[in-house]
Chain A
């Protein structure tokens, strides 16, 4: 199974076993080893999504699904957006 995890700063692909069951939270955790810099940007030291970020699956806020427990399927895109003020 392939998943895309992206933000405005770039994107990366996760290769997972076929038919694996993985949710948004687990997908972000799986970034930790291969891309620690991106992981640090997205998750705090306890492994929680940083409060200043919002997560979308295929363009839809995870709030309208099952939050970080939203199950992902092959080809899904997890997109991470910072909540920041612009001037």
Chain B
């Protein structure tokens, strides 16, 4: 087996309790690398078409990449993959840092695939290559923080784990799979899949070494790459992503007032400063925190033991909120009370919630309330008004626990909108059930193609014009000209697919020269990689994830397009005023460039052959997807 891989995955049938090791095929790894790529390829074959995402036929994978747990910069990531009940039964995935991913490999496996559903709560413990299913009856109902503390007492401090909190147990589609108490694989609602299988946690312990094809070369590469840190490194090293909150609020990148406002008007500089950069790292007890092997250390701990929003866990120590959380609960809700957002972060981390989805859902509720579509009678007596920090904190907790009105909101905006009789459609800003992260396509128009076309809708970490690595030649031009951008868009999407599949962190991708990707892959695996090969492999993974959706009858062109994110009608104020994104033209050109049908999005036979995906030709010729004219 090539370097970078432990060479095997674990198949765990939770219905029968049967556990089997499976060798990881070399060709599979060469073609799909790892993470989302290997996950999508395997699950395409193993999940029956039309399977109920919350039923036993679904498979939840927790998968690493070949650079996870190696000296590569920065190999800290693992992914969760499954059929998603959140996005219309399509492909679901989520990506996470922390320490779990590398330690899964140190325990002996590149990934674990969970099938079936346990009759009672269980957790899997892998100890130096030996897996064992253990009873989790006493763990069910615990928050993530007490759970991690208890399991460390039980199995030792040298374990790592990922788990779900009460939100995932209750199958909430806003739930997240957590690790390191405060790191989340949050998107696509995959914690609900874990909950449906009654799987509380995967605990790993081990000291195995990841094989490296050329140990000296990868060490030398690491040394050289770290010397080439670009401007992005400085921001995230000093502040984490909270370093951009102020600027993004004013530039028009952040959602303001549930995507209906303008930062310069509704959340001006003095308010944005209260939840940004220095205000955050100046919080009491701030101490930087790094994922495994990371020189950036974008995370941080803070202390909050007094005031209205005291932290109740970890002796008052919590994780500093990052950009997405600060925006979704800050700019988006016109809330500049930083202490409240620190508290919300604690609640979301402990109950296991996606802060993007919950903040967005509360934005929908507030706008409905402010416009008389909901009353205190609906919201358990809470006054859901813009910037009402106490009410926002209280509602977050209700969502995590599925209590009262929180039960209506726990599955996100789309389900809440349906349960509430489809009120406030304009305020229900989501794409196919996925709430949209805090980056506005009116500011970065190429994001519209990413949000609307990628296999998992509404995701800012799936590549495109928001994520441009140093050293990549980008054609000059006005970003608000919507034609002629498809080639670079496809290139950017493909590169990020490879970064994610390899187990690398996007912050390393944004901090160091792009050549680091093929160089490190080659040094670790022993396979030859150049940029052309990387891009081709990325497009293969992009296509594989898409094929999963096509086989389920899902055409991304049928997704709802929230009018606010594309400026239909355009805003009248702020730094993205008068912008209407011509997403139809951009998407049509991306489809043409990729060789996908512009009405059904089915890849042409030629494009599949070009990517070495001949096995899909017959399958995709048979798919029954609606044709849509852009």
Contacts and interface: CB of A to CB of B under 8 A. Distances in A.
B234 interface: yes
Contact of A87 (B241, B250, B269): B241
A20 interface: no
A51 B468 contact: yes
B244 A82 contact: yes
Contact of B248 (A9, A56, A61, A81): A81
B232 A84 contact: yes
Given A8-B247, A59-B250, A86 B324 contact: yes
Interface in A66-87: 81-87
Interface in B540-587: 575-578
Contacts of A60: 264, 575
Contacts of A84: 232, 235, 244, 466, 510
Interface string B434-458: 0000110001100000000000000
Contacts of B298: 87
Contacts of B466: 83-85
Interface residues of B, number: 42
Interface in B212-254: 231-232, 234-235, 241, 243-248, 250-253
B41 interface: no
A83 B243 contact: no
A52 B468 contact: yes
B497 interface: no
B598 interface: no
Contacts of B438: 86
B140 interface: no
B480 interface: yes
Contacts of B629: none
B322 A86 contact: yes
Interface in A47-65: 48, 51-52, 54, 56, 59-61, 63-64
B468 A61 contact: no
Nearest to B263: A59
Given A81-B247, A82-B231, A83-B443, A61 B575 contact: yes
Contacts of A87: 241, 298, 322-324, 461, 506-507
A64 B575 CA distance: 8
Interface string A30-62: 000000000001000000100110101001110
B467 interface: yes
B478 to A, nearest CB: 8
B367 interface: no
Contacts of B577: 64
A68 to B, nearest CB: 12
Given A59-B269, A82-B247, A9 B460 contact: no
Interface string A10-36: 000000000000000000000000000
Contact of A8 (B235, B264, B460): B235
A84 to B, nearest CB: 6
Contacts of A52: 468
Interface string B457-477: 000110000111000001010
Most A C-beta atoms less than 10 A away, residue of B250, B324, B578: B250
B277 interface: yes
Given A41-B231, A87-B323, A8 B246 contact: yes
Interface of A: 7-9, 41, 48, 51-52, 54, 56, 59-61, 63-64, 81-87
23 contacts: A8-B243, A8-B246, A8-B247, A8-B277, A48-B476, A51-B474, A51-B476, A52-B468, A56-B250, A59-B575, A61-B575, A64-B575, A64-B577, A81-B247, A81-B248, A82-B231, A82-B247, A83-B253, A83-B444, A83-B466, A84-B466, A85-B466, A86-B241
A-B pairs with lowest CB-CB distance, top 7: A86-B323, A86-B241, A81-B247, A61-B575, A81-B251, A41-B231, A85-B466
